[in-house]
Amino acid sequence: MGVPLSDIGWGLGTLAPIANTLAALVVAPFLSRMAPVKSLALLVAISALAAAGTVFSIADKSSSAVMHWALLQGMASSALSVIIYALILKWSSKAQSATDYAVLCGSSRLLTTVTLMAVPPALTYLSWSVFYALCVGVLLVLSFLIRREVASLGEVRP
């Protein structure tokens, strides 16, 4: 799309980590104030919006809009990771909590790494529109599958 490397570096190397950190910090209080499932649904909706915005911006050849949507998607992903790690902490609060946490956290990172390694080859066969649609579909299915566990996060509040 002809985006200058300096813009990519600024967006992904400086702005994105700051925005992602802020998103992760902001979502934590929402988990205690808002029902955790509502937080999950809101973040999934934001992710779907960002994916759709990215697809439309690519079709419109608007590189600055693509960068903005990517920033929003990264923020939503960071906020979703807070929910996932809260679940991992909950699941590992048993007799061997350190071992359980290490296995669960390590497994989630391994799954993420393997998935990210599969993306470039998949993109040779898929358009960005299909790729983002599949990502939203997977996110919706996984969110549906973990909704009861996420709801139980609200039960551990003092």
Q: How many domains does the chain fold into?
A: 1
The pLDDT of residue 35 is 73
Read off the amino acid at residue 107.
Answer: S
Output helix, strand, coil percentages for the chain, rounded to the nearest 5: 85, 0, 15
The pLDDT of residue 42 is 84
Phi, psi of 43 (to 5 degrees): -70, -35
Q: For the range 86-93, what are the long-range contacts, defined as Cβ-Cβ under 8 Å and sequence gap of 24 or more?
A: 86/31, 86/36, 86/153, 87/146, 87/149, 87/150, 87/153, 90/149, 90/152, 90/153, 90/156, 91/149
pLDDT average per 10 residues of sequence, the chain (158 residues): 82 92 86 76 87 88 89 91 81 79 84 89 87 85 81 60
The pLDDT of residue 158 is 40
Size of the chain in residues: 158
The pLDDT of residue 157 is 46
Q: Both tokens of residue 145?
A: 């599958």
The pLDDT of residue 154 is 66
Domain hosting residue 21, numbered range: 5-156
Distances (CA, A) of 39 to 10, 11, 33: 29, 26, 10
